[in-house]
Structure 1
Amino acid sequence: MFVSYKWLQDYVDLSGITAEELAEKITKSGIEVEGVEVLNEGMKGLVVGHVLEREQHPNADKLNKCLVDVGEEEPVQIICGAPNVDKGQKVVVAKVGAVLPGNFKIKKAKLRGEESHGMICSLQELGIEGKLVAKEFSEGIFVYPNDATVGEDALALLNRDDQVLELGLTPNRSDCLSMLGVAYEVAAILGREVILPKPEVTTVSEQASNYIDVKVDANEDNPLYVAKVVKNIKVGPSPLWMQTRLMSAGIRPHNNVVDITNYILLEYGQPLHAFDYDRLGSKEILVRRAHDGETIVTLDDAKRELTSDHLVITNGKEAVALAGVMGGANSEVQSDTTSVLIESAYFKGATVRKASKDHGLRSEASTRFEKGVDPNRVREAAERAAELLALYANGEVLEGSVVADTLTIEEKVVSISLEKINRVLGTEVSMNEVEDIFKRLQFGYKADNGVITVTAPTRRGDITIEEDLIEEVARIYGYDRLPKTLPIGSSTPGALTPYQQKRRIVRNYLEGVGLYQAVTYSLTSEGKATQYALEKREPIKLAMPMSEDRSMLRLSILPQLLEVMKYNLARQNDNLALYETGAVFLATEAEELPEEREHLSAAITGLWQQHPWQGEKKAVDFFVLKGVLEGMFAKLGLTSAVEYRQGEVNGLHPGRTAEIYLSGSKIGFIGQVHPAVQKDLDLKETYVFELSLKEVFEAEVAPLQYEAIPRYPSITRDIALVVDKNKAAYELQRIIVEAGGSLLKEVHVFDLYEGDRMEEGKKSIAFSLKYFDPEKTLTDEEVTKAHDKVLNAVKEEAGAVLRG
């Protein structure tokens, strides 16, 4: 809801309070003000000008040379390209030195050889949205009525010296979808009176009942319908002040009749509709449910097919309006209209909502009907419309209204004790203070023996229970004045468990090195249920599977992850790196729930790195994925406890697979997907691993300790050992580490040779060993002593020979 600060002053005295201060007070009382827009912000130097002369620019077909009186001693020449500029008009002029929105400064200029001392402006150039500008001025400059004073402030005349508050209303506060509703709210906040409009209608001797008869067949959908007839009107522009108020509220002006109905919608929150009486086609209004298949052409010239769920206004035969949503084109007010029928009605919100949703017609009227209008304003709004039509359309109002009324208006009566109000709010307000709050809200009330009984007005349909009254007291009393208390009792601050912390570390690390998280089904097919399982158990079948492909609980994540790889590769997403953490399900004893165990699985394929500009590419391989795992174990402090041993896993390449051990216990595997499996799934060379996270996260890790940066130099020795071809490097490395003692700090393989010069059945593995002592510089004798122990150990335990 957009609320004009200047317009609001018609109903509440706002002296002494700025728009920003008012916005803060409204927000503190429970209705959020989302913003305050200053309509003339940054603009200056705009006045009303009178076009004295207009002639064609001598050097440009689409420019006009205008002589304009701007209220100064001499008129000024202004070059204008608007097609509708003409002699005798009163227009908006930005003088030399003026500033327009966007800090656009007007300077003296020369256009095609002719001087221009200013600019004649359109409304769009003043910051008004094009959709809010009346059609006659949408393609050119704006023209004031002839009674505008030359030299007057152009922005003030357009009500741009205003500020607009945007209210973010919750669904229960539909009462503030009107200026009067906001006025009641503001008056209660400020402790001031509400000044209500008092329609005074002068009628002619003819009776409205002689011109129209109203009948309602759908009383539940439309319990109250009021019709008034106004004759001899003259359709034309509405007053400028009305047009500008409508634009500030986000509504486009049309003509005086339509603008008056929209104005009252904003003022009272009561939607109205004006029918051209002569185009109505009869002297009857019949409100009924539509017939299935019945059609209507609405004001937007769209033909709409109706159902029996929709409520329509008819002339006794055909539909002339979709009730509460939009009028029909066959009864539209046009420039030659002379008599109008004003409709003011109370429609059921659910019925209007159904029609609005079915036809995609969301209007200001339907919004208000859906949320609920005040039934006590239906008649008042009709009288106000008649008054304004007489004033601004020269209409003659016929005596009386034609009404169909089956509405029972009941004001809600709610009682609450003072003790409960104070107990819930934690306050010590007195009964006098509570009475004053309800008086400011203009609620009827009666206090008796510590209990206050409140009669909520019909405009406040949200007041139904005791808690609503407590809320009203709290917000008017001031939420910022409510006492603050701390919770009583012991509490435990929230935190992640060590297991959750490690899971987060793993996920952050894997995403940091370039893997994307995948989430796959926990259900799989019977054929895939046991594939790549770390622990062989009987798979669990669902009692009522959704399909054969989703009939078993998984024992491994990897089969589903490979399906994801297949799906992406089929769509030309060739470079993939995915991981998933999730549960696998292990069968237990009969009739017991399965054990859920968290696993981590990953799969990579394609290029790991590519730099086209440098011409660099690195395809994924076993050691890329092993490096990812080693980095993860390092993050968890488990590097020294993890071993990789050559192994065999069904579905993985027999020569490129390793089993992963943690402190001597097998926790997973890593390797290349078997070429046959890759072919079946249409995969490229793909590398995978799967781990049991339970063992990883529950492993004991020594506390993190600081190690000083070595101050003394290290000594490196390289050895090449000739061993049997089936001897694994990790076995040799383990022997070297155990034999090297405290001086040996690092061991790694840097070469493997199996060439022609090697004896049949043998291979050469080269290791680099680094020795140092953090306390002193090592001597050659100390290093040689430790190194000899290593050589003897590999010779005795592995049969290794030092290669010459």
Structure 2
Amino acid sequence: MLVSYKWLQEYVDVTGVSAEELAEKITKSGIEVEGVDTLNEGLSGVVVGHVLECEKHPNAEKLNKTLVDLGQEEPVQIICGAPNVAKGQKVAVATVGAVLPGNFKIKKAKLRGEESNGMICSLQELGIEAKLVAKEFSEGIFVFPEDTEVGQDALATLGRADQVLELGLTPNRADCLSMLGVAYEVGAILNKEVKWPEPKSETAAEKAEDYIKVTVEAKEDNPLYVAKVIKNIKVGPSPLWMQTRLMASGIRPHNNVVDITNYILLEYGQPLHAFDYDRLGSKEILVRRAKQGEEIVTLDEAKRKLTEDHLVITNGNEPVALAGVMGGANSEVSSDTTTVLLESAYFTGPAIRKASKDHGLRSEASARYEKGVDPKRARAAAERAVELLARYAGGEVLEGSVEADHLTAEPAVVSVTLDKINSVIGSELSMPEVQDIFSRLKFGASVDNDTITVTVPTRRGDITIEEDLIEEVARLYGYDNVPKTLPVGASTPGHLSEYQQKRRIVRRFLEGAGLYQAITYSLTSKEKASQYALEKREPVALAMPMSEDRSLLRLSIIPQLLEVLKYNLARQNDSLAVYETGAVFLKNNAGDLPEEREHLAGAITGLWENHQWQGQKTQVDFYVIKGILEGLFAKLGLEGKVQFSASQREGMHPGRTAELTLDGKVIGFVGQVHPTVEKAMDLKETYVFEISLKSLLEAPSETLQYQSIPRYPSITRDIALVVDREKAAGELEGIIAEAGGKLLKEVHVFDLYEGERMEQGKKSIAFSLKYFDPERTLTDEDITKAHDKVLNAVKEKAGAVLRG
């Protein structure tokens, strides 16, 4: 809801309270003010000018040379390109030195050889949105009424010297969808009286009941229908002040009749509709549910098919309006309308909401009916509207109204005790203080001992129970005044569990290593559900899948990460590393919920290093992704505990895949995606891993220990072992590390030979062994003793012999 600060002053005295201060007070009372917009902020130097002369520019076909009176000693020449500029008009002129939106400053200029001393402005150039500008001025300059004084501030005349408060209303506060509703709220906050309009209009001798008959069949949907008839209407522009108020509230002006109905909508919160009486086609209004398949052409020229769920206004035969949503084109007020039938009705929310949703039509009127309007405001709004029609459209109001009244709307009566109010709020309010709050809200209240009984006006349909009354007391008393207390009793500060801390370590390490975190769907297709699964089970199917591609719960994360790579490769992002920590779903017995297990998965493709200056490029290979995992395991205190062993898996390269085991249990795998899969998905050489994160993070890890830098030298010995070709280097490394004892600190492979001079079925693997003791310098005897143990162990356990 957009609330004009100046318009609000007509209903409640806000003297001494600025728009910003008022916004803060409203927000503190429970209705958030999302912003305060100063309409003329940054603008200056715009005045009303009178076009004395207008002729074609001598050197430009589309420009006009005008002489404009600005209320100064001499008129000025201004070159204008607007198609609708003409002699005799009163226009908005940005004088030399003026500032327009976007900090656009007006200077003297020469246009095609002719001097221009200012700019004749359109409303858009003055900062008004194009959608709010009346159609006649949408493609040209704005023309003021003839009686506008020359030389006065044009921005003030256009109502731009104002501030607009934007209220972020919750659905229960539909009462503030009107200026009067906001006035009641502000009056309660400031403890000021609210001034209501007092419409007075002379009526003709003729009676409205002689012109129209109203019948309502759908009484539950339309408990009250009020019709008034106004003759001798002269359709034209509405007063400038009304147009500017509508524009400030986000509504586009049309003509005096439509603008008045919209003005009342904003003022009272009561939607109205004006029919062209002569185009109605009968002297009857019949409100009923539409017939199945019935059609109506609405004001937006769209043909709409109706159902029995939709409420329509008819002339007894055919629909002339979609009730509470939009009028029909067959009864629209036009420039030649002379007699208007004015509708002011109370429609219930569900019927309007259904039609609005079905037809995709959400109007200012439907929004208010959906949330709820004050049922007792329909008649007052109609009287205010006919007063304005008589004043600004020259209308002659026929005597009386024609009504179909089946409305039973009584004020809600709710009681609450003072003790309950104070115990909920935590305050020590007295009964007179509570009475004063309800008095400021204009609620009737009576006191009986410790109980206060409140009669709630129908405009506040959100108040029905005692908790609602307590809320009203609390917000008007002031949330800032509610005593502050600390919780009583022992409390435990929140913290991350050990599992959560380790999961963060995993994420930070992988991101530090250059991998991006991905978040993919847990839902997948039948073809991908079981691919790369660590544990094979039947996938869990959804009862109502949104598509075949999202019909099963995943057993592995890798297929989704491969899709991420495929998507990026198709967009020339050909070097990418991603990881994801997420759940996979394992089916249990029939009827049981699936078991969720958290997995860690990653996928890498393209270049791992690309140093363009040095001309170095390193492609991703098995050892890159293996190194990342080894670094992660070391970070988690599991260095040397997770073993890599060659394995074969479906969808993985048969010679570049390793199984990961921890304490003898398989926890995951790492390797290259099978070339046939890569080809099918248009992927380059791609490496992936997937690990049971639960098994990894719950594994006991070594306590972090620091060691001093060695003071004594280390000694390195290299050995080349001849073993069977099937023998894994990792197995030999493990035997060496175990046999070397405390003196052996490092073991790594540095060479593999399978050449011509090697015996058939054999290979040579060379290891580098580093020995040192942090407490002393090792002797040859110490090294020989430890080294002999190593050689004996590899011979006995692996059948290895030293290469000659």
**TM-score, length-scaled by structure 1:** 0.90
Matches of 1:684 and 1:107, distance apart in 2 = 62
User: Letter of the aligned partner of 1:360 in structure 2?
Assistant: G
Matches of 1:546 and 1:393, distance apart in 2 = 59
Matches of 2:315 and 2:590, distance apart in 1 = 72
Return closer, same or farther for 1:479/1:746 CA change in 2, 3 Å cut-off. Answer: same
Alignment of 1:505-516 (within 5 A): 505-510=505-510, 513-514=514-515, 516=518
CA displacement, residues 331-390 of structure 1 (integer Å, 9 cap, x when unaligned): 111111111111111111111111111111110111111111111111111111110011
Are 1:267 and 2:267 matched, yes or no? yes
Indicate the percent of aligned positions where both proteins have the same amino acid. Answer: 67
Partner of 1:22: 22
Partner of 1:490: 490
CA displacement, residues 639-665 of structure 1 (integer Å, 9 cap, x when unaligned): 132333445668866654544343565
CA drift at 1:789:
3.6
Matches of 1:271 and 1:793, distance apart in 2 = 97
Alignment of 1:137-536 (within 5 A): 137-510=137-510, 513-514=514-515, 516=518, 518=520, 520=522
Return closer, same or farther for 1:678/1:249 CA change in 2, 3 Å cut-off. Answer: closer
CA drift at 1:667:
4.2
Alignment of 1:632-781 (within 5 A): 632-646=632-646, 655-663=655-663, 667-671=667-671, 689-709=689-709, 716-738=716-738, 740-742=740-742, 744-771=744-771
User: Letter of the aligned partner of 1:240 in structure 2?
Assistant: L
Matches of 2:309 and 2:171, distance apart in 1 = 24
Matches of 1:53 and 1:173, distance apart in 2 = 54
CA displacement, residues 255-299 of structure 1 (integer Å, 9 cap, x when unaligned): 111111100000000011111111112211111111112111111
Q: Residues 31 and 167 of structure 1 are in contact (CA less than 8 Å); yes or no, is this contact kept in structure 2?
A: yes
Gaps of 5+ in 2: none
CA displacement, residues 38-80 of structure 1 (integer Å, 9 cap, x when unaligned): 0000011111111111111111111111111111111111111
CA displacement, residues 498-539 of structure 1 (integer Å, 9 cap, x when unaligned): 1233234334544554264555469989x99798756x9xx6
Gaps of 5+ in 1: none
Q: Residues 736 and 790 of structure 1 are in contact (CA less than 8 Å); yes or no, is this contact kept in structure 2?
A: no
Return closer, same or farther for 1:728/1:283 CA change in 2, 3 Å cut-off. Answer: closer
Q: Residues 539 and 587 of structure 2 are in contact (CA less than 8 Å); yes or no, is this contact kept in structure 1?
A: no
Matches of 1:477 and 1:80, distance apart in 2 = 58
Q: Residues 532 and 649 of structure 1 are in contact (CA less than 8 Å); yes or no, is this contact kept in structure 2?
A: no
Question: Which deviates the most, 564-573 or 716-725?
Answer: 564-573
CA drift at 1:488:
1.8
Q: Residues 558 and 688 of structure 2 are in contact (CA less than 8 Å); yes or no, is this contact kept in structure 1?
A: no
- Secondary structure of 1:447 counterpart: strand
- Secondary structure of 2:640 counterpart: helix
CA displacement, residues 556-582 of structure 1 (integer Å, 9 cap, x when unaligned): 945x74587489769976878665654
Return closer, same or farther for 1:447/1:37 CA change in 2, 3 Å cut-off. Answer: same
Partner of 2:791: 795
Matches of 1:695 and 1:410, distance apart in 2 = 66
CA displacement, residues 546-603 of structure 1 (integer Å, 9 cap, x when unaligned): 99x99x999x945x7458748976997687866565457598xx99989958463646
CA drift at 1:88:
1.1
CA displacement, residues 130-173 of structure 1 (integer Å, 9 cap, x when unaligned): 11011111111111111111110111111100000000000000
CA drift at 1:233:
1.5
Q: Residues 712 and 775 of structure 1 are in contact (CA less than 8 Å); yes or no, is this contact kept in structure 2?
A: yes
Return closer, same or farther for 1:601/1:16 CA change in 2, 3 Å cut-off. Answer: closer
- Secondary structure of 1:640 counterpart: coil
Return closer, same or farther for 1:542/1:72 CA change in 2, 3 Å cut-off. Answer: closer
- Secondary structure of 1:41 counterpart: coil
Return closer, same or farther for 1:690/1:122 CA change in 2, 3 Å cut-off. Answer: closer
Partner of 1:52: 52
CA drift at 1:8:
0.2
User: Letter of the aligned partner of 1:60 in structure 2?
Assistant: A
Question: Which deviates the most, 61-70 or 703-712?
Answer: 703-712
Q: Residues 530 and 555 of structure 2 are in contact (CA less than 8 Å); yes or no, is this contact kept in structure 1?
A: no
How many residues matched? 790
Q: Residues 11 and 196 of structure 1 are in contact (CA less than 8 Å); yes or no, is this contact kept in structure 2?
A: yes
Matches of 2:641 and 2:49, distance apart in 1 = 89
Return closer, same or farther for 1:421/1:743 CA change in 2, 3 Å cut-off. Answer: same
CA displacement, residues 179-222 of structure 1 (integer Å, 9 cap, x when unaligned): 00000000000000000000011112111111111111111111
Matches of 1:162 and 1:579, distance apart in 2 = 53
User: Letter of the aligned partner of 1:609 in structure 2?
Assistant: W
CA displacement, residues 700-743 of structure 1 (integer Å, 9 cap, x when unaligned): 22322334455777655544344444443234333443455555
Matches of 2:529 and 2:299, distance apart in 1 = 62
Question: Which deviates the most, 47-56 or 242-251?
Answer: 47-56
Question: Which deviates the most, 5-14 or 500-509?
Answer: 500-509
Partner of 2:606: 607
- Secondary structure of 1:600 counterpart: strand
Return closer, same or farther for 1:751/1:172 CA change in 2, 3 Å cut-off. Answer: same
Q: Residues 601 and 688 of structure 1 are in contact (CA less than 8 Å); yes or no, is this contact kept in structure 2?
A: no
Q: Residues 90 and 146 of structure 1 are in contact (CA less than 8 Å); yes or no, is this contact kept in structure 2?
A: yes
User: Letter of the aligned partner of 1:164 in structure 2?
Assistant: V
Return closer, same or farther for 1:611/1:464 CA change in 2, 3 Å cut-off. Answer: same
CA displacement, residues 105-136 of structure 1 (integer Å, 9 cap, x when unaligned): 11111111111111111100110001101111
Matches of 1:109 and 1:417, distance apart in 2 = 74
CA drift at 1:610:
7.3
User: Letter of the aligned partner of 1:766 in structure 2?
Assistant: A
CA drift at 1:751:
1.4
Return closer, same or farther for 1:596/1:422 CA change in 2, 3 Å cut-off. Answer: same
User: Letter of the aligned partner of 1:113 in structure 2?
Assistant: G
Q: Residues 91 and 142 of structure 1 are in contact (CA less than 8 Å); yes or no, is this contact kept in structure 2?
A: yes
Return closer, same or farther for 1:117/1:783 CA change in 2, 3 Å cut-off. Answer: farther
Question: Which deviates the most, 406-415 or 284-293?
Answer: 284-293
CA drift at 1:309:
1.2
